[in-house]
Structures are given as C-alpha cells and as structure tokens.
Homo-oligomer: A and B are copies of this chain.
Amino acid sequence: MAKAEKYRLAQIVERFGGEILGDPQTSISQVATLESAGARHIGFLAHSKYNELLAGTRAGAVILGRADSGLTKLTRIVCDDPYLYFAKVSALFNPPQTVTPGVHKTAVVERGTTVPASASIGAGAYVGRRVKLGTGVVIGAGCHLGDGVEIGAASRLYPRVTIYPGCRLGQRVLVHSGAVIGADGFGIVLDNGIWRKIPQLGRVMIGNDVEIGANTCIDRGALGDTVVEDGVKLDNLIQIAHNVHIGAHTAIAGCVGIAGSTRIGKHCMIGGGVGIVGHLDIADRVIIHGGAVVTKSIRKAGTYGGHPAEDSRSWTRNMARLRHLDTLRERIRQIEQQLSLPEEKA
C-alpha cells in the first residue's frame, strides 16, 4: 500500500544477514507470495509442504531456510528462519504509513491538553482534559480519549477507539478500530437478590510495543489496575476483565476471554476462543490450544488444551479413549458371553 522503494539483494543481506545464491545485484521492490510474485518481487518458503510452489514461481528472488537451499535454482537468500527474514524484508519495503501532523478542524481538544506539533488528531476525534500525548502520536478519526489519558510517543490509534479516563498506553502501541480500553469491570455483588454495582476505581496500564486488535475490550481495574506488559500482542474481539495482568511478550489470538484478576505469565501463546476463569495463575511460557477452557491455575510451562484444559498429552489421550469406548464395550460383551452373564442393554 505504501509506495515501496527498491533494494538490491546485496543491500538486504547487509541489513539482515543470510547468504545470496545467485546475482546479488537483483533489484527487488516488494514482497509477494510465490504464486503471485513477479520479477521485481521476493517470495519465501517457510514450510516444506509448499515446496511445489517453488517450481512454478516467477519471483525475482526467494528466501529459503538452509536445509531447503538446494530446492531451486532461483536467485535466493538462504537464512536460518525464512519466515522471520521475510517479516524483516516486508517491514523494510512497507514502513508504517506516515500521517500528516495537525489537529483536524472537526476534532475537539479540551482545555488543559497540549497536542505536540508532531502529533495528528483525526476528524471528529475527542481528546479530554489533561491528556498527555507523546511525540508523533496518531489519534484516528472518531477516537475518544477521556480526561487524564496518557499515550506514549509514536503510538497509533486507528479510527473509532475509546480510551476511558485515566488509562495509560506506552510507546509504539497500536490500537485497532473499535477497541475499548478502560470500561468498567464487571464488578457486581448481590444484595438481597438485586445486583449492586461496585465502583471500578482502577485504570488500564499498557506497556510499550503492544498491539490491540479491533473491537477488543480491556476493562479498568476494580481497585488496583489492569496491566498489559510490554510487547503483548492481542488479536480482535478479546475480552480482558478487570485486574487481569498479562506478562510481557505474550500473544493472544482472537475471541479469547480472560476473567477477572487472572495473571498470565510472560511469553505465553493463547489460541483463539480460549476461555480462562478468574483468579488463576498461568505460568510463563504456557501455550494453550484454541478452544480450551482453563479452569485451574497452570503452574508449569508447557502445552495445554481441552475443556477443562489439561496438559496436551492427557487431553489427547482422553480424546482417544473416548473414541475407543466401543472397543471396550465389545470386549466386555465377549467376556459376558463367555461367562454367560446377562448382557446389559445400552
């Protein structure tokens, strides 16, 4: 989408390492899939199951892992991790779009807030009182920033994001359209059969380099804060309840719900649609399969899945067991026949 510059392969390996097989002067102007690539494009092979695409590609060059370097005679860059290498090359060709600084004439900025000259406030956006905006911040059209919000340098809010009062985002944070940060947590208590609301007094504190997907919700804390540490990546339509704490560099796929006060460790990977009940502790480096329902704390790094979630091995075994029940039933029937026991009807 951004207009890409050209680079020679020699310039690319100078930046990112790897080894060129073929002409280092090959000029590339964009990344592409092997299927759609032309002479000016560089493609990549991240998994050997796509090998057959190599034969048909018209890419000017390809990125390959060391083990796959012999699969083609095309001009290529050979490296340790071709998908990561591709990501770096793609980021080189596709830097974030620059946004013209300035406050749109239809935006509203309340008193007590200073907008840095390098920042951009889009059409119809609302910025409350005493809001602190870092240099180069981009606030998309129709965004709403409550009083006292803080947004670190080089962060970008896409259109129609809501940040409730008092919440803080670090630097280089990306927030996609429709996300709601800092709404009241679901804090209610029964009073003779009637739900009484508990004031939600905490904030949402978001670290640096966090990405937050479209229509994702992160509730403010009840007393303390809800915390999302540095480098966390959240997909779309995720629900993070009050006082949840998400450790640095954890990635969470779409449609996940995490109930109140649960702590997720660092470097975790949580698959799509997972539900995690409240007040649990999930250790660092835990991987949870999509669709799992986590009902107990997970104290050890590892891979977990199922409903309720257990470590992957038990879960797979249980599923297999279920499928073998017919076999068990048949064996019992045969024993009963041999013993002339009356067969039970299912």
Contact residues of A with B, CB < 8 Å?
Answer: 1, 31-33, 36, 83-84, 86-88, 90-91, 93-94, 104, 106, 108, 122-124, 126, 140-142, 144, 158-160, 162, 164-166, 174, 176-178, 180, 183-184, 186-191, 193-199, 201, 211, 213-215, 217, 219, 223-224, 231, 233, 235-237, 239, 241, 249, 251, 253-255, 257, 259, 267, 271-273, 275, 277, 290-291, 293, 295, 307-308, 314, 317-332, 334-336, 338-339, 341, 344, 346
Compute how far the CA of A15 lies from the CA of B321 in the bound complex, rounded to whole angstroms.
58
- In the complex, chain B residues whose CB is within 8 Å of the CB of A249: 193-195
A295 cross-chain contacts in B, Cβ below 8 A:
290-291
Known: A90-B201, A275-B291. 6 other contacts (CB 8 A): A32-B223, A91-B198, A194-B231, A255-B275, A322-B322, A325-B325
| A299 to B: closest C-beta gap in Å | 17
Cα of A341 to Cα of B275 in the assembled complex, Å: 43
Assembly CA distance A158 to B128 (angstroms) = 14
Q: A214-B217, A338-B339 known; A90 and B198 CB under 8 Å?
A: yes
Is A199 within 8 A of B166, CB to CB? no
Q: List 27 A-B contacts (CB under 8 A).
A: A83-B189, A84-B190, A87-B197, A87-B198, A90-B199, A91-B199, A104-B108, A106-B108, A126-B141, A159-B162, A162-B178, A162-B214, A174-B184, A177-B180, A178-B217, A180-B214, A194-B249, A195-B249, A217-B236, A217-B237, A239-B254, A241-B254, A272-B277, A275-B291, A321-B329, A335-B335, A338-B339
- A235: chain B residues at CB < 8 Å are 186, 239, 241
- B183 lies within 8 A of A88 (CB): no
- A328 and B271 CA atoms in complex are apart in Å by 33
- Contact B334 A326, beta carbon cutoff 8 Å: no
In the assembly, what is the distance between CA of A332 and CA of B193, in Å? 48
For residue A211, which residue of chain B has the nearest CB?
Answer: B197
Which residues on the B side are within 8 Å of A335 (C-beta)?
A: 332, 335-336, 339, 341
Residue in contact with A322 in the complex, picked from B183, B239, B290, B321, CB distance below 8 Å: B321
Q: Are A259 and B253 in contact (CB under 8 A)?
A: yes
With a CB–CB cut-off of 8 A, which chain B residues contact A83? 189
Q: Which B residues lie within 8 Å of A141 (CB)?
A: 108, 126, 144
Complexed CA–CA distance, A125 and B219 (Å): 23
Are A126 and B126 touching (Cβ within 8 A)?
A: no
Closest to A239 in B: B254
User: Of A33, A273, A314, which is in contact with the most chain B CB atoms at under 10 Å from its CB?
Assistant: A273
**Are the C-beta atoms of A108 and B90 separated by less than 8 Å?**
no
State how many angstroms separate the Cβ of A320 from the closest Cβ of chain B: 8
Which residues on the B side are within 8 Å of A198 (C-beta)?
Answer: 86-87, 90-91
- Residues of the B chain whose Cβ atoms lie less than 8 Å from the Cβ of A184: 174, 176, 211
Contact residue among B197, B257, B346 (Cβ-Cβ distance under 8 Å from A273): B257
Closest to A83 in B: B189
